[in-house]
Amino acid sequence: MENESLIPKMSSSSIFYALASFTLVVIVLIYFGSIFKPIVIAFLIWFIINQLKLSLGKIKIRGKSLPSLMRSILAFIIIFLILSLVVELLIQNIEGIVATMPEYLSNFDNAYDKATALINNPNYTEYLQEWLSKLDLSAMATSLVSSLSGIVASSAVVLIYVIFFLMEDASHKIKLEKLFPKKGHQYVKFMHNLRNISDSISYFIASMAGISLVTGAVSYVILIIMGVEYAFLWSFLIFILNFIPYIGPLISSILPAIFAVIITGQLMQFIYVFAVLEVIQIIIGNFIQPMIQGKGTNLAPVTIIVALAFWGMIWGIVGMILAVPIMAVIVIVCSQIPSTRYLAIILSAKGDIPDMED
């Protein structure tokens, strides 16, 4: 009798092997995270470079497109220059914060005095004083610089991976031709599914990056107008944390609001900055994002929350940033494989997944 659902029939031994395989994968991801994290980041950068390479192919010189090798080199140089500029600006912003920390600490003391006067409750004041005594802003800023230095150092590893991925581009077509020497129906079907996967991933990354970029850019302008120093650092954090649904936008609004209090010593600055940034997040998230992204993520809220918890547990903050892109790619790939389409339906928002070619 033909199976009436997409869920394949599985024996107890198959379930055991599936669970054992999943457990093994989790263990490998945890213990070899330092190896896999740069590879995943490098893959995303490589994919973005490839999409930029395709866009450069639309440029015509005397009716001819640029050679593939030249487009690859140009795309790599453009992405490398952008990333280098961003890292340089971030380092300048953080070094500036560290250098002016003594001045900020005096402003912070003023804000603390106003807070204790406003609360006017010995119990809460004692609790606040105990919490602030454990807060070492100078050490936090120094630690942030060290962490950024570590990221810059690991970026060298990511760069090497990206270069090797780009070197492999030339052999992809050759390998596919070797796998399908007759180029029959199976080859056409495989290429169609591969193209669907590539287009869906490209759409997701482009739309998500575009939304985050708009949010970061608008926040940058607002922070400049409101006089919050080091606006580039905060807008970059807003751009990055926007990839973490629900939690990211909230954290990215709180951090510059706290810093606004530290640099001015005015408690109301927290409310002003936080409220304005949250309004930006709400407007873009509820009105602009649906128009740009549409069904780009196609992930159920439960899937997103579990993914954030899972990837955050094994890879920390980097895992939380990569959680949604990774899960989106998994759903897209599963939707194009007959035996795993049921997983794509379960993980998706409303069960709407792309059709496969027969």
| E-assigned strand segments in the chain | 60-61, 64-65
Q: What is the pLDDT, as a whole number, of residue 281? A: 86
Q: Find out whether 320 and 312 touch, Cβ atoms under 8 Å.
A: yes
Q: What is the residue range of 105's domain? A: 13-179
Task: Give a yes or no: residue 186 inside a domain.
Answer: no
Task: Give a yes or no: residue 254 inside a domain.
Answer: no
Q: What is the pLDDT, as a whole number, of residue 106? A: 65
Q: Find out whether 239 and 216 touch, Cβ atoms under 8 Å.
A: yes
Task: Give a yes or no: residue 59 inside a domain.
Answer: yes
Q: What is the pLDDT, as a whole number, of residue 270? A: 82
Q: What is the DSSP letter of 352?
A: -
Task: Give a yes or no: residue 208 inside a domain.
Answer: no
Residue with tokens 């140089």: 77
Quote the distance between the C-alpha of residue 250 and its chain's center: 15
At 159, which helix (H) or strand (E)?
helix 137-179
In DSSP notation, 49-89 reads HHHHHHHHTT-EETTEEPPHHHHHHHHHHHHHHHHHHHHHH
Q: How many domains does the chain have?
A: 1
Task: Give a yes or no: residue 81 inside a domain.
Answer: yes
Q: What is the pLDDT, as a whole number, of residue 1? A: 44
Q: Find out whether 29 and 314 touch, Cβ atoms under 8 Å.
A: yes
Task: Give a yes or no: residue 167 inside a domain.
Answer: yes
Task: Tell me the pLDDT of the chain (358 aa) as tens digits.
Answer: 445 566 667 677 777 777 888 888 888 888 888 888 888 888 888 888 888 888 888 877 777 777 877 888 888 888 888 888 887 888 788 777 777 766 666 666 665 566 566 555 555 555 555 655 555 555 555 555 555 555 666 777 888 888 888 888 777 777 877 877 777 777 777 777 777 777 777 777 778 888 888 899 999 999 999 888 888 888 988 888 888 777 888 888 888 888 887 777 677 788 888 899 989 888 887 777 666 655 445 777 888 888 888 888 888 877 887 888 888 888 877 887 777 888 888 888 777 776 665 5
